[in-house]
Amino acid sequence: MRFRLQSFAAIVLVLTVLACDHDDAPLPDNIKVTIEGVEYPTVTLGSQTWMSINYAGAGGVHFDDQNSRPEFGKYYSKTEVEAIKLPPGWRLPTQQDYEKLATVYGFSIPSNGTHTDHIKNLTSTTQWNNVPGTNASGFNAYPAGYVFQNWPPIPGDIAEFWVAGGLTLSIQEAGTSLTSLRMVFYQSDNSPELKFNVRFVRD
């Protein structure tokens, strides 16, 4: 009887160790994607893999002449974005891609936008003026603002990214006291003087 109990305990121990090893095994995150000679980290969210930092390749402009906010990446016009050569399988996200990303965290993006705390899963824990995120996703959207004409971006309350078709996806502090987050799509290709951040995605 003792032998059987010891054998059973040994089997449980082996299975526990194997389960722990499996749980601790790295997920297919942190895979790097190389775009025009520069490596960028990625994160797997649902069935898609996203860049987890903003693109900062050729073209575009930095936050300032000193590049004092490298975490913001660079800001690009629509024309500049369209000229970026991507590796096979990677693309500028569509509206449907961002909508799919939202569903991973339990919300949708209607035509008039959405206000929900679930957006915090996608936003950085620092640099927001009033509503820090949790970055539970690893997407880590910083409030980098955007560039209009030659004016420097105003950081702190908006993260905005180019979307295929001339749209942008905006995450912004909102509400009467700017204490909530809103996510909404804009048609932004009507002014060539606008520059926004960029992420890329693949299935």
pLDDT in tens, 89-133: 999 999 999 999 999 999 999 999 999 999 999 999 999 999 999
In a domain, 190, yes or no: yes
Q: Is residue 39 part of a domain?
A: yes
How many other C-beta atoms can be found within 10 angstroms of the C-beta atom of residue 118?
17
Domain boundaries, position 125:
32-202
How many domains is the chain partitioned into structurally? Answer: 1
Residue type, 55: Y
Residue 21 lies in a domain: no
54 falls within a domain: yes
Q: Whole-angstrom Cα distance, residue 137 to residue 114?
A: 18
109 vs 117: CA distance, rounded Å? 13
Q: With 0-12 CB in 10 A as exposed, 13-18 as middle and 19+ as buried, what is 138?
A: middle
- What is the rounded average pLDDT of the residues 177-200? 95
Label residue 30 by pLDDT band (50, 70, 90): low
Residue 19: φ, ψ to 5°: -65, -40
Residue 19 lies in a domain: no
Within-domain flag for 15: no
